[in-house]
Amino acid sequence: MSAAEDFDPIRMQFIDPFQHDYEVIRPIVLFGETAAQRSRQTGIDRTVIGDKARHFVIDGMMGLADGRAENVGRKGHVFPEAIAGYIIYLKQLYPPIHLREIERMLLRKFGYKTTHHTLKTFLAPYELTLSS
């Protein structure tokens, strides 16, 4: 039985992402195994394992936390009223319009710079009502 086969059965028993990540890096931290060896055993990219191990050594268990969780509860981008209204107007006028096209139109018409990611987040609550 290979080391990868040893890891697969216990992978299903993890109830927490921290536990999974720690078990992935534990042999590296405790026994000096390399990230490449552990990658072959777990099927996870060696750079991901190396990064997780590095974060763990520097910050302890909190180093395994997903950095995206820091933005939870953060207030989203607020467009000026005229811009927000124009975005919604464009999406109602032509629902299949691409977000990058809206981005270009805002830059040309208002000189307002934004990204398609911000537009997607802004329009998410309206998607059901706009497509109906």
Is the pLDDT higher at 15 or at 99?
Answer: 99
Whether 76 is in a domain gets the answer no
Question: Among 97, 19, 91, which Cα is nearest to 56's?
Answer: 19
Domain count, the chain: 2
- Max avg pLDDT among 57-61, 74-78, 107-111: 107-111
CA distances from 28 to 32, 39, 60, 67 (A): 5, 11, 14, 22
Clarify whether residues 65 and 116 are in a common domain: no
Q: Is the pLDDT of residue 75 over 90?
A: no
> Do 20 and 48 fall into the same domain?
yes
Neighbours of 21 (CB within 10 A): 23
Q: What percent of the chain has pLDDT over 70?
A: 83
DSSP-H helix ranges across the chain:
3-11, 17-31, 35-42, 46-59, 81-93, 99-110, 116-123, 127-131
Please check whether residue 96 lies inside any domain of the structure.
Answer: yes
Per-residue pLDDT tens digits for 90-105: 999 998 999 999 999 9
Which one is predicted more confidently, 7 or 92? 92
Question: Are 58 and 103 found together in one domain?
Answer: no
Between the two ends of the chain, the Cα-to-Cα distance in Å is: 55
* Residues 55 and 95 placed together within one structural domain of the fold: no
> What range does the domain containing 96 cover?
81-131
